[in-house]
Structure 1
Amino acid sequence: MRCASWLSRATATAVTVVLALLPSYAEATAGDPPGPADTFTAENKTPAGWDTYRRLDHLPDIPAGVRTLQFSSFDRTGGNTQDGFFGTYSCLRTTADGCVIAEQHGAGEIGTIWFTRDNGDVSHTGTLTIELDGKKVLQAPLQDVVDGRLGAPFTPPLVANADASSGGVLIEVPMPYRTSMRITTQHNPHFYHVTYRSFADADGIVAFDPRDPAQDVATLLTAAGTRDPKPTLPGARTTTRALNIPPGRTQTLATTTTPGLLTALEIRLPQASGTTAQEAGGSRRRTGALTTDVRGRITDDARTGAMASDHAHLSRTAASARRGAYATGLVPTHSDPTAAAVARTLLTGLRLRMSFDGQRTVDAPLGEFFGTGQDLAPVRALMFAADPPTQTFRAWWPMPYAALARVQLYNGSDIPVTAGSASVSEAPSPAHAQAVRTRAEGLFHALSHTGPTVPGTSWSFLSTRGRGKFVGVSHSMQGALDRTYLEGDERVYVDGARSPQIHGTGTEDFYQSGWYFNRGPYTLPFNGNPSHLTASSGCATGRDCTTAYRLQLHDAVAFTQSIDHTIEHGPMNDRQADYSSTAFWYGNSTPASYTSDIVRLGDPASERTHHYTSSTTAPLTMLDSAFEGDAHTPTRLRAPTRATRAPVTFTLAIDPGNNGVELRHTCDQQQGPQQTEISVQGHPLHDWYQPLVNTDRRWLDDTYQLPAALTRGRRMLTVTLTPAPNGPAWSAAAYEARSLT
């Protein structure tokens, strides 16, 4: 079992591995002093790098000029069979060094990297190479990286292998860069995703330094679920009340009119004392030369790179996972059906409600709010926790307000709550109160909804208008015993774009696991599968019950106008399930961007009005195709495009009071990568680089971020694009200016 030997192997091998890695980095950085440990960014950005963890009190900050995107192996046709099994879409391109899986020009930050293959054994992927600003900061076997063999900063829980994350492997080390990033694997990795943030400029960004062990962050994350991870604020005080709530009634736990923020919540509920035995994870069956996986797909061992898990290996894996889970208290070893039923009733029937400045922004089932869902299971996440032995639930989200905050607990069950206590901690903070008033910070939201899934329609985690950022979700699922409802991909559409910024490969993949959570329940600081039940352990007859959570802190998804975050149920929304989910986000209802102008190519009036010129006018080609997304009901568009190799110039109107501008480019992504130099008002910027290719769903909405220092105070921008001489022609159907306000 890998997780049992992390520390001993890390101690024994870290020197060899790191010395093998560092010469390439040392050569590239010769003479450069080590960067500072703290990498606080400029005023428009939330903390980056290690400060994301060190300054969690800044989690409510709403950034400008920040976009969160993802590269992944998702099926480009919108289906399910090519999400990674054959590696069809896993490489953006192939070089002498291997398979390029992520690439960006400009400033940004790698947030989360996840892989799986071969039931979680990623050794066949070979070496992982990460280049930032042209320098190799990591080059080592992927399996060694996720096993923690490299040493700090690549140590648990900042990395996790498949035993720790139940079938998937992950790297949660935040890695900022100023000019570029590229990630390459030696061999095709099959299933993967890389989630990263793109910044409008590099102001305040200090590139990741692999020589900084960030030991304080590792210590903080290791203690996840046991204490408040935020810096202590002066003047904090805690109010504690005994619980006494008849069915159908509400008890106020705390009310404060001192401007500042709520910092912690603790609820002790002795009546929720029942625990249930957890089921093991997923499985796969072998049938001769072909492998049939529980996803309902048949794979060829030769093509998938040795899917070599036989029955004996699976038995050993399952036993190892169970031993590890029992040893850490993840899997309760006994079950009291009556007490467990009471606990489930209270966890789903009690609702936590919070109001800030007169707005109710929190209304969620108690269990789901604390990550444990419909069953009392251990949770040790960074921002919340559940402890079954003491029936105690804790949360540490920073929850700012300008003038008034109220916390209540509603009893929607038929069981009177007659014991226990609730403690609410608050801290006075004029700075946080002012930030809420000026909308620099968003109010904390945790709104839940429950019900059956709808055939052909994805389940919505969050669909809202305004400005904010999505920071996590707690998800309770009940479906068929074959667990194929877990086939569903997540998709995130931001600010009206027709292309998803994030497109995943499966539900357990979104929760950074794999193979239907094949190692069984677990809990980590950012992700977990605390509970898995069937009829023998508390779920309904013939049904499978699964609870999962995911926190996105350094990879929070910012939006300025709207967000639509959904997940499929089944391969193509074709498996019935009953879901409940609670989305965690910060924000307000006031949009902070709008389309100030758009030039449509092929429209003579639009081209003339926007002074669209070129030394060689490219011919128009009519494209009738779809955008990526839903398999059955994709967004379609029929419009003319121009693919040019000659420089083009055009103007766009913008809001003079802007806080930066985004250029949204609607294009044909049939060929790639596409690249062009860009200058605005005569100022050269980093190249606009678009590495994606899709020959089936060819339309793409792609965005280039312009810094506020270049655009603020102007009413008009002149943009010049000079396509790269080597490579496909630069395609465009329209350019849209979105002014951030």
Structure 2
Amino acid sequence: MTDGGYGFFGSSLRDLPRLRSARRGRASSWDRDGGNDDRLTVRPGETVTLADLTGPGAVTHIWCTVALPFKEGPHAAETDYLRRLVLRITWDSGNDPSVLVPLGDFFGVGHGKTTNFASAPLQMSPQDGKGFNCWFAMPFAERARIELVSELAAEPVYFYYYIDYESYARAEPDLGYFHAQWRRENPTDGVEQGEQSNAEFLLEGTNLTGEGNYLILDAEGRGHYVGCVLNVHNLSGNTDWDWYGEGDDMIFIDGESFPPRLHGTGTEDYFNTAWCPTQAYHAPYHGITLPGNHNWKGQISLYRFHIEDPVIFERSIRVTIEHGHANKRSDDISSVAYWYQTLPHRPFGLPPVHERLPRSE
């Protein structure tokens, strides 16, 4: 291998002709006996290593699909397996994972569901969104350990995967490490409507501190935030106009006080849509994969990726959003934050499996 590193190569079509020095590799579930059983069978409670790579290198693409064994008769009991399976990635010699996210949520859709959608870094592809793809670049200096953790209680799963990567002759010191974290508040700490009219409850009130906002990311170190998936399960029994949004996004950088430099105007605005959307939509950097039911009831999933506009921080970052205007709503909200930063990072965990399971609609 020649003396190449990660390099200054973009991924645009214009940059593809630039020759680079790296060695391609792939870890996958191909049948080592030469047959067509190209999958892992992951038993309940089992952790499997999908790839254990030596650096310097970079993971460039992950594809996978997963299914429960087919059964005659009654349906399998653990159809919420996309919240019971966890993707865990640990970089270099660290003991604390930098990626710790339920499998379905990591690839862009919450509530344990799949649906066809295409963004720039994440996609769920046919059939019925069950082909998962990630194109976030994930460079590492020494080691990349990628694992799948099953917290199913009774069912095995069939898991097929590719992990494509590049190996380099030298590491580059100015590259951040990819991170992803899952959070949930079920429900958020809202207020009772009481004597307020529906319009007063959903549209009026003040928040001049940012306290009580839903927390998407709270990280320390140097890096940049590159986006999130936000999932809402509308828990209101209101039969009137029942819009779940109006929550301003507030991003606090390096310990700044209220008001932050990045203060937005409403949930749909941060996700680059408008006027209380009810339609599924997917673009390279923003979209609505699950728009909910009539009157915004049920399950919603949205994404916003800061690919062209990463949010840079030198010491710390807190990414927050109101749950309803002035934090009045009490819905089930979960999220995945994606970011790059230096190591070591502030360690984070994952709630136990019973606290991750999606509600039935």
| Correspondence for 2:88 | 353
Partner of 1:265: 62
Whole-angstrom CA distance in 2 between matches of 1:422 and 1:351: 14
Question: 1:485 Cα deviation (Å)?
Answer: 2.9
How big is the shift at 1:558? Answer: 0.3
Q: CA deviation at 1:410?
A: 1.1
Instruction: Return the TM-score normalized by structure 1.
Output: 0.37
Which of these residues, 232, 246, 258, is aligned with residue 477 of structure 1? 232
* Amino acid in structure 2 at the alignment position of 1:522: Y
**Corresponding residue of 1:236:** 24
Asked if 1:256 is matched to 2:53, the reply is yes
Displacement of 1:260 after TM fit?
Answer: 1.1
Distance in 2 (alpha carbons) for counterparts of 1:233 and 1:531 = 41
1:445 alignment counterpart: 179
Q: 1:546 aligns with which of 300, 315, 320?
A: 300
Q: How far 1:231 moved relative to its partner?
A: 9.4
Mapped partners of 2:20, 2:299: distance in 1: 38
Describe the superposition over 1:438-497 as per-residue Cα deviations: whole angstroms up to 9, x where unpaired: xx1111100111232233611111111111000010111112455433111101111122
**Structure 1 residue aligned with 2:334:** 580
In 1: Cα distance, 2:101 partner to 2:121 partner:
16
Post-superposition shift, 1:427?
0.8
Is the CA contact (8 Å cut-off) linking 1:378 and 1:523 kept in structure 2? no
2: CA distance, partners of 1:524 / 1:347 = 24
Check the 8 A contact 1:244/1:251 in 2, yes or no.
Answer: no
SS of 1:472's equivalent in the other structure is strand
Instruction: Give the direction of change, closer, same or farther, for the CA distance of 1:504–1:483 in structure 2 (3 Å limit).
Output: farther
Pair 1:506–1:413, CA change in 2 (3 A): farther
Name the CA distance, whole Å, in 2 between partners of 1:450 and 1:247: 24
Distance in 1 of aligned mates of 2:265 and 2:139: 35
Structure-2 change in CA distance of 1:571 and 1:232 (3 Å): farther
Query: 1:419 & 1:381 partners in 2: Cα distance?
Result: 26
Map of 2:200 onto structure 1:
none
Which of 369, 376, 380 is equivalent to 2:106? 369
- The 1:231/1:417 distance shift into structure 2, 3 A limit, reads farther
| Local SS of the residue matching 2:97 | strand
TM-score under structure 2 length normalisation: 0.74
Report which of the two structures shows the higher radius of gyration computed on alpha carbons: 1
The structure 2 residue matched to 1:420, chosen from 143, 150, 159, is: 159
Say which of 268, 273, 278 aligns to 1:508.
268
Q: Secondary structure at the match of 2:42?
A: coil
Counting only pairs closer than 5 Å after superposition, residues 66-85 of structure 1 correspond to structure 2 as none
Aligned to 1:532: 291
Shift of 1:367: 1.3
What whole-Å deviation, never above 9, does each CA across 1:551-592 have from its counterpart, x for those lacking one?
Answer: 10110000001111100001100100111111100002579x
CA distances 1:286-331 after superposition (whole Å, capped 9, x unpaired): xxxxxxxxxxxxxxxxxxxxxxxxxxxxxxxxxxxxxxxxxxxxxx
Q: Which has the higher helix share?
A: 1
User: For 1:529, what is the secondary structure of its paired residue?
Assistant: strand
Looking at structure 2, the residues matched to 500 and 272 of structure 1 have their Cα atoms a distance apart, in angstroms, of 50
One-letter code aligned to 1:244: T
> 5 Å matches for 1:548-697?
548-588=302-342
Q: Deviations over 1:100-122 (max 9, x none)?
A: xxxxxxxxxxxxxxxxxxxxxxx
Q: Percent identity?
A: 29
Aligned equivalents of 2:126, 2:153: Cα separation in 1: 22
Pair 1:467–1:428, CA change in 2 (3 A): same
1:464 — aligned with what? 219
Q: 1:534 to 1:412 in 2, by over 3 A?
A: farther
Q: CA deviation at 1:378?
A: 1.2
Structure 2 gaps, min length 5: 1-6, 30-38, 191-210, 346-361
Is the aligned partner of 1:410 residue 2:149?
yes
Letter in structure 2 aligned against 1:55: G
**1:114-148 CA distance string (max 9 Å, x none):** xxxxxxxxxxxxxxxxxxxxxxxxxxxxxxxxxxx
Tell me the SS of whatever aligns to 1:509.
Answer: helix
- Residue 373 of structure 1 deviates from its aligned partner by 1.7
C-alpha change, 1:570 and 1:443, in structure 2 (3 Å) is same
Q: Residues 353 and 364 of structure 1 are in contact (CA less than 8 Å); yes or no, is this contact kept in structure 2?
A: yes
Corresponding residue number in structure 1 for 2:349: none
In structure 1, the residue matched to 2:280 is 521
Letter in 2 for 1:236: R
Larger RCO of the pair (alpha carbons < 8 Å, separation 6+): 2
Could you tell me which amino acid in structure 2 is paired with residue 381 of structure 1? S
Does the residue aligned with 2:127 lie in a helix, a strand or coil?
A: helix
Give me the whole-angstrom Cα distance separating, in 2, the residues matched to 1:549 and 1:524: 10
Query: Conserved in 1, the CA contact under 8 Å of 2:254 and 2:313?
Result: yes
How many residues were matched structurally? 296
* Paired residues for 1:389-404 under 5 Å: 389=127, 391-404=130-143
